[in-house]
Structure formats: structure tokens, C-alpha cells
């Protein structure tokens, strides 16, 4: 199982995004909003008024028996992302793209959202749901990560983090989906991260599976479980 320090550093990279996004290799000068991967992001997007934070929280996957370090949160998106990154050491370095493997999804900071994360032997699954529609949701699943944003180097609490996007592909899930594989080396520990994004009626979902030996099949299974629960609860 990955070390606690390594996972904390990984969370730190995920949670920090620069004020200008990286889309197609160009940086936008439009007003900043928030990215569901944590932190401000450029551009604008509409949030669906149809789903409340309470409803989104009820649509999340339930941690299985034996899961530990369970963390939950719901509320305005900007508040939830702060809780997601709570306790992580400050991150410095190459953050212009917002972190490795994170597509530039634009979601207003006040959008209702909810998340759950937990730890199992050898892996750390998590899910985030945010009320979003229109360009925000469409961009999440159709826009590939620009080449300039596929490798990130940073430091967190004195630990060096190097992350590289290995693959970035569409995925047949929900109203549209995308799957991204990222390898992250934190100190002397190599972690594999699979992130799946999916859209439904008025919401955007993100599942992430991090571990030393997690596979694409593991990540897809988690994402389909999350989508089935969200679809049943929200549509």
C-alpha cells in the first residue's frame, strides 16, 4: 500500500491549479472559476440548479466494508475542494496546467457538489459529483489534455513529485466519458492513477483510483459503479 506521505503529496498536486488554464496549449485571460480537480481555473460554465449538494451526496458510492480513512464533504464547490486538499503540504513548481492528467474543466465555485474518498489495501478510491451542464460537462469528456500539460514536476513538503500522462481516451459511460492514466513518482514511490470523468443529466462525475498496481479494469469498474448510483439517484 502506498505510504501516507506519498498519498498526501499526490493529493496536493491534484488539488492545486493555476489561475490560467491549459487548453490546447493556450492560456485564457477570462475570469477564473473553479475546476473539479481542485483550484481556480479560467473560463466560465453554467451550473445546473436542478441538483442540490444534499442530493449529490446521496448519489455517491458507499465505501465497502473494510474501507478506512473515509472522508466525505458536500456544499459549494469551492468549499468542497478546500476540504479535499486539507492537510496536504504546499505545492510549488510546474503548476501552470493544474496538475498531471487533470483536464481543464470549468465549474463555478458556488456549484453544488459532494465527494467521498477512502482507503483500501493497495489503493485509494474517490468520487466527486458536481452540478454542471452545457459547456462544462461537454468539455470534460471531449477535450484531450494538451501535450504541453502531460508532464508535471512539483514539490510538496520537500518531496519531489513527477507525473506523466500515459493515456487519455474517450470512454463509453453515461452521456459521455473520458479515462486518463497518470503515473506519479513521489519520493521513491511510484503510484498509478486512473481518472474517469462521466456526465449525466445536470451533473459531472469524476472517479479516481490511485495505487501501486491498480489497473484500467479496476478504474472502469469503479466508475461504472459510481455512474449507476448517480443515474439511479439523480435521473
* Alpha-carbon distances, residue 31 vs 46, 103, 216, 232 (angstroms): 14, 18, 36, 35
Ranges of each domain in the chain: 4-234
Task: Output b/e per residue, 114-131; b: 16+ Cβ within 10 A.
Answer: bbbbbbbeebbbbbbbbb
Q: Is the pLDDT of residue 72 over 80?
A: yes
How many alpha carbons lie under 13 Å from residue 41 in its C-beta half-sphere? Answer: 30
CA–CA gap between residue 175 and residue 179 (Å, rounded): 14
Residue 144 has what pLDDT? 84
CATH H-level, domain 4-234: superfamily: PknH-like extracellular domain (3.40.1000.70)
Length of the chain: 235
What is the structure's pLDDT at 157?
73
**pLDDT at 97 > cutoff 80:** no
Is residue 178 within 8 Å of 170, Cβ to Cβ? yes
pLDDT at 118 over 50: yes
- The overall average pLDDT reported for the chain is 74
Amino acid at each position: 500500500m502506498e505510504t501516507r506521505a506519498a498519498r498526501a503529496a499526490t493529493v496536493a498536486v491534484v488539488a492545486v491549479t493555476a489561475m490560467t488554464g491549459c487548453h490546447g496549449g493556450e492560456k485564457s485571460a477570462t475570469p477564473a472559476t473553479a475546476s473539479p480537480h481542485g483550484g481556480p481555473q479560467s473560463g466560465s460554465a453554467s451550473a445546473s440548479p436542478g441538483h442540490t449538494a444534499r442530493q449529490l451526496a446521496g448519489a455517491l458510492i458507499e465505501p465497502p466494508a473494510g474501507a478506512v480513512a473515509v472522508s466525505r464533504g458536500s456544499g459549494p464547490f469551492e468549499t468542497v475542494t478546500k476540504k479535499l486538499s486539507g492537510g496536504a503540504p504546499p505545492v510549488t513548481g510546474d503548476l501552470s496546467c493544474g496538475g498531471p492528467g487533470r483536464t481543464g474543466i470549468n465549474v463555478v465555485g458556488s456549484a453544488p457538489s459532494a465527494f467521498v474518498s477512502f482507503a483500501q489495501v493497495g489503493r485509494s478510491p474517490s468520487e466527486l459529483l458536481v452540478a454542471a451542464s452545457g459547456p462544462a460537462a461537454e468539455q470534460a469528456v471531449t477535450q484531450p489534455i494538451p501535450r504541453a500539460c502531460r508532464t508535471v514536476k512539483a514539490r510538496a513538503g520537500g518531496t519531489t513529485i513527477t507525473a506523466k500522462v500515459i493515456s487519455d481516451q474517450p470512454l463509453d459511460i453515461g452521456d459521455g466519458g473520458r479515462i486518463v492514466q497518470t503515473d506519479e513518482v513521489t519520493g521513491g514511490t511510484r503510484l498509478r492513477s486512473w481518472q474517469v470523468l462521466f456526465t449525466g443529466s445536470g451533473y459531472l462525475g469524476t472517479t479516481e483510483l490511485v495505487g501501486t498496481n491498480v489497473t484500467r479494469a479496476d478504474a472502469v469498474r469503479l466508475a461504472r459503479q459510481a455512474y449507476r448510483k448517480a443515474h439511479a439517484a439523480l435521473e
